[in-house]
Amino acid sequence: MITTRTPYHPGERTAQARAGVTDRADHAGRSIRDTVPAVAARFLTERRMLVAGAADRDGRVWATQLSGPAGFLQAPDERTMTVAAHPAEADPLAEALARPAQLGTIALDPAGRRRMRLNGRSTPDGRGGLVVHAEEVVSNCPKYIQRRTPLDRPGAGAPRTVASGPVLSTAQRLAAATADTFFIATAGPDGRVDASHRGGFPGFLEAVAPDRLRWPEYRGNSMFLTLGNLELDPRAGLLLPDWETGGALLVTGEARTDWSEEARRSAPGAERMVELTVTGVRELADATPLTWTDPEYSPANPR
């Protein structure tokens, strides 16, 4: 009997089959590693921002951001990433990452339209940072990344909660509806967490109700790491950075993918739609000491 090893779990396989891209996924899967290549290690040392996803003590999945000067991310060996930062006390993942946890991360270079995912087991380093043992390392294409350059904000204060609640306020719904980028964290069947990027023109993320967000899924790398997780576990967390002020809107809930033909027709470029039922919101001021230049929109964004 001949068996073929695959880096994908059953949920990812289901999503790939639904989309009719199993062969493409098999080809793309060859790039999934459990080690950090030298070129990826150099990429990490140049970054100022890391998106991190994990589950809190109640099992809710959140996505947040960590930042620091160039060099705050390091890969001291091919199986380890160190992070010289930790979620602030106001962050819903502060407690979760104060102990060992499954962590999904994505390091983003908006200026160069590059991104890299590194997922694995995180432990506190005893010095206010994290050590992540790599279990899955993926470099992604530049699609849908809006070009931005980071700027330091010397007067930034400590991160603090501006608002929290079970649903989105009117102002938060407006912020979501005008976003051109967000990040999503999801969990796999073995508890491993993945963090991913979504981008488009403002309006691609819809705030259809105080407790509902909806967005189109555009053509991607055919791996279906996010939607594959959602096939088996609906928990999800969204991070919406405020690129102008350094604030952030964090949303948690449960997501469902609509694979119907009607969903494909509901938004330009959509191959399917995802709807998140919101169960928790945390809005942070001074989430990062960085602001970013105005966006140069990706030429891949569907019009």
pLDDT tens digits, 90-115: 999 999 999 999 999 999 999 999 99
Q: How many Cα atoms occupy the beta-carbon half-sphere of 170 within 13 Å?
A: 0
Please state, in angstroms and rounded to a whole number, the distance separating the CA atoms of residues 169 and 175. Answer: 10
Tens-digit pLDDT profile for residues 118-156: 999 999 999 999 999 999 999 888 999 999 999 999 889
Tens-digit pLDDT profile for residues 257-274: 999 999 999 999 999 999
Please state, in angstroms and rounded to a whole number, the distance separating the CA atoms of residues 260 and 202. Answer: 24
| 102 touches 193 (CB < 8 A) | yes
Per-residue pLDDT band for 4 (boundaries 50, 70, 90) equals: low
Does position 10 have pLDDT exceeding 80, yes or no? Answer: yes
pTM for the structure as a whole: 0.96
Query: Would you kindly state where each structural domain of the chain is located, as residue ranges?
Result: 10-292
Fold of the 10-292 domain: Pnp Oxidase; Chain A (2.30.110)
H-helix or E-strand containing 40? helix 38-45
Does position 2 have pLDDT exceeding 70, yes or no? Answer: no
